[in-house]
């Protein structure tokens, strides 16, 4: 389904759409549930027949044959119950897997701006806890309602054929109980939605706390982190308490009406016996049917909680799936092919959705194979400008073009395929060195990965690792040094081999010795490519074809190193400042 489908269709129709691929398992589950209900309905009626006919008529042989059949029926019932538990849960897991696949795929399509505003832990909660609740609803919901409806309706029909007056009393109590239960269910849904919000919040805090645990230890702030966690944990505890309070009211009401049903049968049945309108055997039969009610009513009780949790999770899932990516391909977007690398930034302006304008009328034209360096004070807009080229964000005004094509008129996939980005903060996946390098081109051969490592001058380091290219790099690459992490990131770009390259302060986090070594690798990497370099250390960009000084969202100077020094302007001032350091 598309994002538009999630916006327009009802939650129920969206929910059912995930049943269709697995409808055979669903109908197997429901069929077994129907047979279990029929066995449960038959037992009181067979018992009544035995007491009315077989035992008084001394038909003992037939009685034992009937008991053997009943025993076999309950044995079959156990097998049916096994099928429901195993295949029913298998059906639920498959639905969950389909939903998770669609949700993760949709998250992949969302734009950079979405992740600026939403925490990782909250998205993790959407992909785990919420989907588990939807799974439980998918499996148990239809099954519980079906069993309950068949059993209760069938029991009432049989009871009306035995003694309509007593059956009418039960029939009047049941709707009253359902009305009370339904009202209690509404408060459970509201409380469950709040619990999910708090669960997402605490997951986000846990993710943040675990990610920053080394920083907390370095500053001796473990107690502060624990206080922050306690605060979030208390909010979760309070929301969970409210949910259990609502669930307590629900269960109390349910238990009350279950007891009232038994009391009503004995009281009204006793009165009918006194008036000669009912006998003891029929009263026992009614009692057996009331006992039969217990399991369906308890299933309805469980369903209320499942529905509360599952519907809250479903609406949160639909809410995220309904979120439109801020950036989408134009309907007539073309694929960017045979890229030469000419970049034209024509009088652009840019502002974030909730902030002031950060780039003001920037005009910059980069020739094929040219290296342009963007320098200036932090916060001047250098990184923001570089992120507009691969269209991580859209310009507010003006245009960004590659080989004459506006980046808004080409597919994002082809645009990203032709642009390589190396950032200051390298992200490595918790996988092997081989797979982290191969991320630059997933279909690359082992030989191509090794060649990329040689070009990035990391091959010898990898060979010295315990398992070579199969060495696991740890969470976010923590088992490697900063220089090794950066070289692996560079290896990805060599493997990807894009015509346009953006180096966003790619060496600023490294020491000067490591930076000098990696700078040689960058010189090799940038050869023959159109390159945008963002740097704080001017020593790393002196050989750039041109250097642009970005200040307060504007390009205030542009030229070669020698030209800018001779102007004795903003660039020369930056040079003097760094020399003093």
- Between CA 273 and CA 114 the distance in angstroms is 71
DSSP element (H, E) containing 530: strand 530-534
One digit per residue, the tens of pLDDT, for the chain of length 581 reads 777 777 778 877 888 888 888 989 899 988 998 898 889 888 888 888 888 888 888 888 998 999 999 999 999 999 999 998 888 888 888 888 888 888 888 887 777 666 666 666 667 766 766 777 888 888 778 888 888 888 888 888 888 888 888 888 888 887 887 777 777 766 776 777 777 677 767 766 766 666 666 556 555 667 777 777 788 778 777 877 888 887 787 778 777 877 787 788 888 888 888 888 888 888 888 888 887 777 787 777 677 767 777 887 888 888 888 888 777 888 888 988 888 889 999 999 988 877 788 888 899 999 998 999 898 888 888 888 888 888 888 888 999 999 989 999 999 888 888 888 887 777 788 788 888 888 888 888 889 888 888 887 788 888 888 888 888 887 767 778 777 888 888 888 888 888 998 888 766 555 666 666 667 777 777 788 898 988 877 777 888 889 999 888 888 889 888 888 888 888 888 887 766 55
Residue partners of 115: CB distance under 8 A and separation at least 6: none
Asked whether 396 and 357 are in contact (CB, 8 A), the reply is yes
Asked whether 162 and 286 are in contact (CB, 8 A), the reply is yes
Number of H helices, E strands in the chain: 20, 10
Tokens of 5: 């489908």
Return phi, psi of residue 552, to 5°.
Answer: 55, 40
Asked whether 180 and 253 are in contact (CB, 8 A), the reply is yes
Q: Which domains does the chain have, with CATH numbers?
A: 3-321 (1.20.1560.10), 343-580 (3.40.50.300)
Tokens of 11: 């939650």
Strands (E), 339-388: 343-351, 357-366, 371-375
For the CA atoms of 189, 193, 194, 197, the dihedral, rounded to the nearest 10 degrees, stands at: 170
Residue partners of 91: CB distance under 8 A and separation at least 6: 22, 25, 26, 29, 138, 139
């Amino acid at each position: 389904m598309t994002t538009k489908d999630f916006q327009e269709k009802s939650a129920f129709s969206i929910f059912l759409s995930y049943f269709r691929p697995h409808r055979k398992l669903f109908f197997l589950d429901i069929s077994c549930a129907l047979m279990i209900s029929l066995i449960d309905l038959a037992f009181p009626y067979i018992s009544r027949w035995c007491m009315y006919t077989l035992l008084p008529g001394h038909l003992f042989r037939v009685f034992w044959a009937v008991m053997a059949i009943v025993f076999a029926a309950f044995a079959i019932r156990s097998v049916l119950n096994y099928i429901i538990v195993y295949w029913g849960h298998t059906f639920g897991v498959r639905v969950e897997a389909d939903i998770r696949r669609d949700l993760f795929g949709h998250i992949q399509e969302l734009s950079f701006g979405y992740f600026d505003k939403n925490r990782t832990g909250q998205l993790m909660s959407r992909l785990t806890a919420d989907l588990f609740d939807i799974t439980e609803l998918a499996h148990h919901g239809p099954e519980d309602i079906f069993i309950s409806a068949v059993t209760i309706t069938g029991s009432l029909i049989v009871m009306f054929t035995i003694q309509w007056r007593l059956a009418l009393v039960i029939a009047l109590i049941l709707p009253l109980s359902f009305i009370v239960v339904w009202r209690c269910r509404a408060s459970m849904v509201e409380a469950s939605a709040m619990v999910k919000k708090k669960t997402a919040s605490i997951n986000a805090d846990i993710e943040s706390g675990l990610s920053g645990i080394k920083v907390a230890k370095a500053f001796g702030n473990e107690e502060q982190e624990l206080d922050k966690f306690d605060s979030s944990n208390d909010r979760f505890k309070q929301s969970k308490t409210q949910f259990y309070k609502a669930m307590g009211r629900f269960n109390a009401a349910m238990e009350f009406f279950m007891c009232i049903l038994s009391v009503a049968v004995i009281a009204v049945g006793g009165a009918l016996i006194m008036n000669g309108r009912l006998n003891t055997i029929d009263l026992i039969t009614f009692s057996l049917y009331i006992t039969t009610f217990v399991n369906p009513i308890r299933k309805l009780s469980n369903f209320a909680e499942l529905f509360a949790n599952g519907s809250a999770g479903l609406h949160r899932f639909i809410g995220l799936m309904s979120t439109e990516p801020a950036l989408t391909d134009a309907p007539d977007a073309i694929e960017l092919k045979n890229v030469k690398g000419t970049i034209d930034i024509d009088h652009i302006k840019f502002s974030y959705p909730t902030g002031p304008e950060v780039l003001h009328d920037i005009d910059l034209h980069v020739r094929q194979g040219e290296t342009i360096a963007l320098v200036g004070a932090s916060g001047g807009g250098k990184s923001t400008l570089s992120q507009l080229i691969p269209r991580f964000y859209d310009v507010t005004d003006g245009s960004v073009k590659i080989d004459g094509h506006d980046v808004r008129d080409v597919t994002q996939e082809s645009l990203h395929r032709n642009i390589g980005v190396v950032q200051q903060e390298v992200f490595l996946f918790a996988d092997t060195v081989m797979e982290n390098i191969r991320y630059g081109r997933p279909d690359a051969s082992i030989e191509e990965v090794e060649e990329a490592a040689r070009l990035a001058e990391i091959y010898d380091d990898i060979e010295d690792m315990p398992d070579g290219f199969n060495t696991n790099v740890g969470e976010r690459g923590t088992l490697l040094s900063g220089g090794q992490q950066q070289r692996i990131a560079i290896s990805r770009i060599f493997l990807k081999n894009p015509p346009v390259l953006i180096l966003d302060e790619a060496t600023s986090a490294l020491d000067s010795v490591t930076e000098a070594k990696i700078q040689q690798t960058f010189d090799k990497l940038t050869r023959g490519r159109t390159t945008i370099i963002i740097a704080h250390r001017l020593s790393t960009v002196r050989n750039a074809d041109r250097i642009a000084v970005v200040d307060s969202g504007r390009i205030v100077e542009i030229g070669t190193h020698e030209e800018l020094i001779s102007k004795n302007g903003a660039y020369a001032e930056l040079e003097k400042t760094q020399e003093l350091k």
